[in-house]
Each structure stands twice: as structure tokens, then as C-alpha cells.
Homo-oligomer: A and B are copies of this chain.
Amino acid sequence: MNTHSDSENSLSRMEEMVSKLRALEFRLTPQRMAVLEVLAAGEGHPSVKEVHEIVKRKFPTTSIATIYKTVNLLKRINEILEISIPGGSKRYEGGKPFPHPHVICIRCKKVIDLDLGPLKDITTRIADDTGFEIRSHRLDFFGVCGDCKSREKLTQKQRRQRHDK
């Protein structure tokens, strides 16, 4: 683990986000800062609802519309990454706002970052082949995480026992 560089990272992500907003002359309201803090912390991959819950602890009157507006703003200026989860709501990631692969549990919707090399070669080839101007990509793997696998085995065992009776 590397807690030190993690907090360094969140600090700098916070600074980066704030600079970008300032540079583009967006206003730094308390609610907006609170959203930034949640996403810059880089802990997990929260949904809008989860961000809202956390922000409301500090500013209880914060509306979900404000969270949506802020998250969409941050997405538009490429300061957060949006991850769509089949069968779940969208998740947001401020720690690494560039495309990178994930592993997603189809049971508990847990999201884990992966670190493969960049797909630059493939991207270039695809641009050449299709005439698209490629701007981003997503590479996500879906499966069942260790925890949910154990739970499934338990359930199977229970089911078998029930049948055996």
C-alpha cells in the first residue's frame, strides 16, 4: 500500500480540479467544492446518489440536481471519468480522469481499477480503419468477485442440502 502517495494524489487532484474550474471561470461554491472533495479523494467509484449522501452531511440542503449539474460539468471538462454499470447507475471517478480498464462485479457492482498499458497502437489503427477521430475508449471486464463467489457457493450448498432432505 502507499497511503502517502495516495493522499498526495488526492491533494493534487483537488488542486488540479480547482485550477481547471478557475481557469474556465466557473464559480467555486461550497457545494461544488464538496463534490470535488468527494471525487478528488479518489476513493471508490461513487454514484450521483452516493456523492449526494456524502455532500449532504456537510450541506444538508444540497439538491440532487446540483450534484447532477456539477458531475456533468466535471465530466464535460474531463476532470472525472464516467463508468456505466449494466444493471446499475452510473459511477464517477475523479482520481484517474482518463480512460483506463476496470473489473466490475456483476453481483455487487464493485468496481476495481486495472492498470494495463495504453491502447494507443490499437486506437491509431482503428482511426485509420474507420475514419473516426477517436477521443476515448472503455475497456471493462465483467465477472463475479471473490466475495460474491463465496456467497454463491454457500447458496448452492444450502440449495443442495434443502433438496437432499
Contacts and interface: CB of A to CB of B under 8 A. Distances in A.
Interface of A: 82, 84, 86, 103, 105-106, 112, 114, 116, 122-123, 126-127, 129-146, 149
Protomer copies: 2
Given A132-B146, A134-B142, A138-B138, 9 more contacts: A103-B132, A112-B130, A114-B130, A116-B122, A130-B145, A132-B143, A132-B145, A133-B143, A135-B144
A14 B145 CA distance: 34
The 3 A-B pairs with the shortest beta carbon distances in the complex, nearest first, are: A131-B146, A132-B143, A134-B143
A134 B142 CA distance: 6
A137 B143 CA distance: 8
